[in-house]
């Protein structure tokens, strides 16, 4: 419920209190189904790659008069999947492999599980599903034969194997992730992002990257990353919860943690870490540096090995570095502290009081 609310705040959630089969699960939403919607789409939480086109095609079949539409697919190996039995263009049954005849086992068109059901028939069909089977469960697939016996039109549509892929274990999860990453990389490149070695770049579901950005090999984007146009993300950088403005330069081997906010033409170089900090326009954090809970003013330069000492073991404190300031190498800025506009910190300094 919490996950759905982020993108579908008006969604209703119903809980299947007992695990009594797929038809029983759908009937947990009886209150919603009984409102008389035209189309009922039944989808599964373990098929995350299903695309809108597959669902649209199924709904078109309902519009053409079908009462039940089963979404099928053709896996590389049909072993273990229920087969879709068709006759004269209509779906007559879904047969589990263990119940298939030798001839039926040769069928490669398999059940993906997902369905579209005409709202006018949904409750009547679901209420007719019985549980006289080995597991004593109510199977959603039974509505195919129930609808056919009533003379209703039942058909199958076909989705791609990738779209219908179900996840049952961590190996299949990794397989689905690889498919999604390949899709996302392709989309990024078509939108004008340069990926030097696409197969080594990893995106999150909400990664946003502007055109003419260049991403070098082995870069990982965690959730909440927004990158404007013309940025350069160098190799082996790890970025999460960060905002990167136009023409920024990041890495190699940079780590941007949540709250990192790089303004136009800012630079965060190799082996630097930035957390909950604003790096203003043209500022440079070049080498082996930690900037946390801070502001680095426009045009400021932070020398190699500099750290903001933002945590005293109990609380976090803020460091404010003014516009055009110069902080020499191997300096420690003990927060809370302010470095004024144009301030100069000599190398190796430990700053515990504000510098004008």
pLDDT tens sequence for the chain (356 residues)? 898 898 899 999 999 999 999 999 999 999 999 999 999 999 998 999 999 999 999 999 999 999 999 999 999 888 888 899 988 888 988 888 888 888 888 999 999 999 999 999 999 999 999 998 878 899 999 999 999 999 999 999 999 999 999 898 999 999 999 999 999 999 999 999 999 999 999 999 999 999 999 999 999 999 999 999 999 999 999 999 999 999 999 999 999 999 999 999 999 999 999 999 999 999 999 999 999 999 999 999 999 999 999 999 999 999 999 999 999 999 999 999 999 999 999 999 999 999 99
The whole-number pLDDT of residue 79 equals 86
Q: Comparing C-alpha atoms, which of 269, 333, 335 is closest to residue 343?
A: 333
H helix intervals, 128-169: 142-149, 161-164
Reading the block at residue 211, the tokens are 């055109």
CA separation for the pair 79, 64 (Å, rounded): 32
Helix 142-149 with 119-127: angle, nearest 10 deg: 110
Which residues are catalytic, by number? 287
Q: Comparing C-alpha atoms, which of 87, 74, 146, 82 is closest to residue 111?
A: 82
Q: Comparing C-alpha atoms, which of 291, 301, 306 is closest to residue 347?
A: 306
The whole-number pLDDT of residue 27 equals 97
Q: Helices then strands (H, E): number in the chain? A: 9, 29
Q: 319-322 long-range CB contacts below 8 Å, 24 or more apart?
A: 319/291, 319/293, 319/294, 319/295, 320/294, 320/295, 321/294, 321/295, 321/296, 321/297, 322/297
CA separation for the pair 131, 312 (Å, rounded): 63
Domains and CATH numbers, the chain: 2-164 (3.90.550.10), 170-351 (2.160.10.10)
DSSP string, 206-224: T-EE-TT-EE-SS-EE-SS
CA separation for the pair 327, 309 (Å, rounded): 14
Question: 20: which residues sit within 8 A by CB, 6+ positions away?
Answer: 131, 136, 137, 138
Q: Comparing C-alpha atoms, which of 293, 298, 295, 340 is closest to residue 312?
A: 293
pTM of the model: 0.85
Question: On the CB side of 178, how many CA atoms lie within 13 Å of its CA?
Answer: 8
Reading the block at residue 301, the tokens are 């330069």
CA separation for the pair 331, 350 (Å, rounded): 6
């Amino acid at each position: 419920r919490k996950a759905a609310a982020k993108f579908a705040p008006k969604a209703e959630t119903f809980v299947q209190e007992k695990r009594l089969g797929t038809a029983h699960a759908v009937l947990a939403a009886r209150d919603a189904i009984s409102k008389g919607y035209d189309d009922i789409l039944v989808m599964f939480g373990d098929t995350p790659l299903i695309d809108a086109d597959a669902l649209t095609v199924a709904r078109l079949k309902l519009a053409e008069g079908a009462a039940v539409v089963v979404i099928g697919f053709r896996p590389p190996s049909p072993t273990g999947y229920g087969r879709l039995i068709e006759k004269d263009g209509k779906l007559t049954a879904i047969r589990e492999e263990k119940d298939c005849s030798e001839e039926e086992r040769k069928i490669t068109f398999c059940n993906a599980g997902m369905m579209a059901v005409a709202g006018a028939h949904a409750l009547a069909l679901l209420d007719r599903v019985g549980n006289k089977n080995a597991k004593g469960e109510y199977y959603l697939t039974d509505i195919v034969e129930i609808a056919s016996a009533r003379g209703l039109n039942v058909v199958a549509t076909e989705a791609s194997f990738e779209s219908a892929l179900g996840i049952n274990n961590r190996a299949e999860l990794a397989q689905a992730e690889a498919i999604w990453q390949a899709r996302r990389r392709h989309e990024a490149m078509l939108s004008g992002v340069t990926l030097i070695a696409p197969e080594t770049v990893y995106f999150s579901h909400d990664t946003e990257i502007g055109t003419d950005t260049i991403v070098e090999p082995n870069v990982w984007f965690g959730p909440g990353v927004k990158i404007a146009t013309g940025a350069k993300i160098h190799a082996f950088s790890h970025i999460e919860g960060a905002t990167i403005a136009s023409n920024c330069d990041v890495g190699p081997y940079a780590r941007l943690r949540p709250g990192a906010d790089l303004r136009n033409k800012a630079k965060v170089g190799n082996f630097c870490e930035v957390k909950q900090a604003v790096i203003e326009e043209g500022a440079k954090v070049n080498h082996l540096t930690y900037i946390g809970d801070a502001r680095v003013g426009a045009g400021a330069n932070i020398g190699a090995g500099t750290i903001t000492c933002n945590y005293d073991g109990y609380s976090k404190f803020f460091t404010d570095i003014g516009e055009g300031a110069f902080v020499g190498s191997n300096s420690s800025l003990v927060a809370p502290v302010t470095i004024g506009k144009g301030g100069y910190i000599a190398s190796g300094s430990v700053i515990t009081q504000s510098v004008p």
